[in-house]
Amino acid sequence: MIVPVLAAMALDPSLNVVSTTEAKSFVESSPIGNGRLGAMVFGGVAHERVVLNESTMWSGSPQDADRPDAYKVLPEIRRLLLDGENRKAQDLLQANFICKGPGGNGPAYGCYQTFGDLAIDTPQASFENYRRTLDLDKAIASIKYMDHGVEFRREAFASVPAQVVAYHFSASKKNQISFTATLARKERAALRVDGADLVLEGQLDSGNPEIPGVKFAGRLRLVRTGGTMTIDDRGIHVDGADEATLLFTAGTDMFEKGYADHLVEHLDKAPPYETLKREHIRDYQSFFRRVALRLPEGPSADKPTIERLVAMKQGESDPSLAALYFNFGRYLLISSSRPDSPLPANLQGIWAEEYKTPWNGDFHIDINVQMNYWPAEVTNLSDCQKPLIKFIEDLVPNGEKTAKAYYGAPGWVAHVITNPWHFTSPGEGAAWGSTCTGGAWLCEHLWQHYAYTDDKAYLKSVHPTLKGAAEFFLASLIEEPKHHWLVTAPSNSPENTYIDAKGEHLNTCMGPTMDEEIVRELFTNVIQASEILGLDTEFRQKLEDAKARLAPFQIGKYGQLQEWLEDYDEAEVHHRHTSHLYALYPSDQISPSATPALADAVRKTLERRGDMGTGWSLAWKVCFWARLSDGDHAWLILRRLLEPVGAMGYNMSNGGGTYPNLFDAHPPFQIDGNFGATAGIAEMLVQSDGKTIHLLPALPSAWASSGSVHGLRVVGGMTVDVDWKNRKVTSYRIHGTKPAGLKVFGAG
């Protein structure tokens, strides 16, 4: 195919991430993915680097990380907590109640890592009119430039139907395409030629000499028109082609023992490029086009994305940049978590260039993997949550062992970190690793999937998992002496530190507010599931009784919502975690209309925490302020999240923002901020609880002139379209079966 030289066309500023330079780093490059295969396209002309990923590229292996006799020390830990000896309790917990072995720091726990690189070298040393674009509507990364009067174009995408990453070259004249392409990995891999394919294969470190590590392989094949091709151990060499397409596929034996044969099948069955592209677009748009958001454009809307980020930091209002970020978040979810993906999206989705990813690139369950899926239901990507649902159910067997080993309790429990082998033990540090409600928090996603789909057959299928989590807490809650409330013990308020009456900085406690909120919500959901399904009348009553005795919300000395059972001061007032506000969002136990005094306490807490934070922390604050119906404050926080960050260093002290390619800067890169802010933007536009729908509940003044959102999902299996002008709804439509008595607010 010979491409014509076209005049520059205006791109939709809410659907295109644009750059006029080659990417110099991972966080400038363009992500593509099909839920299993991922790639980061740098767009280099003379030398192109494409970082390749496969979602099951994990070192490590299954391990027994439970201490079998940990339950024997539990009574003493609890006695110390009941007596106010929290330092001694924390020391005893560190000595006897953490995981067996090094936990997340150990080689057996493992690490998500890069597959390797696709390297492409061309003879083109000079070029002009360069533009690199990630089209969110088509899920295609493209590069266009001129060289000596010839327009060159490249396109890259990750196809679900074909299970390949395609990288296509074309030009406005014949015989212009020449390059050498190869695969490379720095460790534990070898490259060989197999017929017309380059094969990169190896085996990762299991961390256990008695268990083999994950085996992997990737194949690269060329399809061309015109010119010549040769292949050797240095790569695939193309000279003078009219057009050419590189096809890459990869797999591991984590879940698929016949993966190597399937790679050949994927390449053999891949259709011609135009058909491959058309089928990819059709498949992708069946997800992406379910929702459309339009917001007012700012003066810099037609500029490259990094210039738009800088202009906003300097004070320009560009609501369409928020629409771009919203669409980018949906794009990332579709690209990293398809219904049949083998694993849920991890801390970096599926994209990593490291061999040792930050925090192992794992599944943190004290907020991070949950935040990844906050936009799934509301942005009409319910089916993209299926990998998480399966993963939660797969945690149960290990979680049951952990519940017995540490608490002598029935049911199942998971703590703070987990991996593809379903690690459920406490973490290796008492200061953070004994939060005991990670599994229960995940159960909220099981319930929300039902709430948004109204699928009773699904609810019946996950009921045992929900019930097992409730059984654990029903058996393991203890009575605290002052008020006789039922509380968790031991636990943490995730990753935060309090100052006790003795002036000590501690983490271990009983009954942190977040735990009580999550357990209350879990019990409520299991009670409702029992009623809907007509099951477990006796067990339901036990939950009702226990729920009534859970520690209530408390307002502290600063007018804030208390984070701990006692009104402790925080060691770090501006700490990134605000876990005790879980009841406001993602839960709905607190709201301005139903619990105004508690909502005021939440507002005070947010004011004390401040408007800074790491990337995901800022995203959560967007959600909080939206739920408080304060759109201008939500927009203020979102603008803060959109401030450009250039470096990849670790800075968790108010260092969050956005990288040039729109990846969330924790920093370093952590994808939950992208997903959390996407959910927050949806929350600004529509809120629902099954009985009510609020239209434009937190519309910022900057967005008020005009806009529309179509296709957002609400509780009860309905979708909503809303158009507005001058802050007023001009039209709206609810699609689906409306329950009797449904009330719609904000409709005029």
665-696 pLDDT per residue, tens: 999 999 999 999 999 999 999 999 999 999 99
267 close to 54: Cβ distance less than 8 angstroms: no
Distance CA(110)–CA(357), nearest Å, equals 10
The confidence score (pLDDT) of residue 500 equals: 95
Is residue 34, in this structure, part of any structural domain at all?
yes
Single out the residue of 564, 583, 579 nearest to residue 480, CA to CA: 564
The confidence score (pLDDT) of residue 485 equals: 98
Buried residues in 508-517 as b, exposed as e (16+ CB within 10 A): bbbbbbbbbb
- Contacting residues for 383 by C-beta, under 8 A, at least 6 apart: 287, 339
First to last CA, the chain: 54
**pLDDT, tens digit, for every residue of 543-564?**
999 999 999 999 999 999 999 9
**681: its two tokens:** 């933007």
- Contacting residues for 518 by C-beta, under 8 A, at least 6 apart: 437, 440, 441, 444, 582, 587
Positive or negative, the CA dihedral 634, 637, 639, 642 is: negative
pLDDT of residue 5 exceeding 50: no
346 close to 337: Cβ distance less than 8 angstroms: no
**What average pLDDT does range 258-279 have in this prediction?**
97
Number of domains in the chain: 1
10 pLDDT band, cuts 50/70/90, is confident
635 pLDDT band, cuts 50/70/90, is very high
Positive or negative, the CA dihedral 271, 274, 277, 278 is: negative
Is residue 379, in this structure, part of any structural domain at all?
no
Is residue 144, in this structure, part of any structural domain at all?
yes
Total-model pTM:
0.97
Domain limits at 188? 16-59+115-289
Which three-class secondary structure string do you get for 219-240? Answer: EEEEEEECCEEEEECCEEEEEE
H helices of 362-455, in order, are 368-372, 374-378, 386-407, 430-433, 438-453
Name the residue with higher pLDDT: 655 or 299: 299
| Residue type at 516 in one-letter notation | E
6 pLDDT band, cuts 50/70/90, is very low
Q: Tokens 């200061």 — which residue?
A: 431
Is residue 695, in this structure, part of any structural domain at all?
no
**pLDDT, tens digit, for every residue of 124-169?**
988 999 999 999 999 999 999 999 999 999 999 999 999 999 999 9
**pLDDT, tens digit, for every residue of 38-82?**
999 999 999 999 999 999 999 999 999 999 999 999 999 999 999
Is residue 313, in this structure, part of any structural domain at all?
no
Q: Hey, how many other C-beta atoms are within 10 angstroms of the C-beta on 170?
A: 21
**What average pLDDT does range 227-236 have in this prediction?**
97
Is residue 224, in this structure, part of any structural domain at all?
yes
653 pLDDT band, cuts 50/70/90, is low
**Which CATH number goes with the domain that contains 252?**
2.70.98.50
718 close to 667: Cβ distance less than 8 angstroms: no
* Residues paired with 141 in a beta bridge: 134, 156
Distance CA(528)–CA(373), nearest Å, equals 23
Distance CA(200)–CA(177), nearest Å, equals 24
Q: How many residues does the chain have?
A: 748
- Cα 246 from chain centroid? 29
Single out the residue of 567, 557, 433 nearest to residue 507, CA to CA: 433
**pLDDT, tens digit, for every residue of 462-493?**
999 999 999 999 999 999 999 999 999 999 99
**What average pLDDT does range 198-208 have in this prediction?**
98
Distance CA(395)–CA(3), nearest Å, equals 51
Is residue 682, in this structure, part of any structural domain at all?
no
Is residue 215, in this structure, part of any structural domain at all?
yes
R_g of the chain computed on alpha carbons: 26
pLDDT of residue 294 exceeding 50: yes
Averaged pLDDT of the chain: 96
Q: Hey, how many other C-beta atoms are within 10 angstroms of the C-beta on 555?
A: 17
**pLDDT, tens digit, for every residue of 600-612?**
999 999 999 999 9
DSSP code string of 262-329: HHHHHHHHPPPHHHHHHHHHHHHHHHHTT-EEE----TTTTS-HHHHHHHHHTT---HHHHHHHHHHH
The confidence score (pLDDT) of residue 306 equals: 96
300 close to 318: Cβ distance less than 8 angstroms: yes
* Residues paired with 292 in a beta bridge: 710
Q: How many helices (H) and strands (E) does the chain have?
A: 18, 32
pLDDT of residue 3 exceeding 60: no
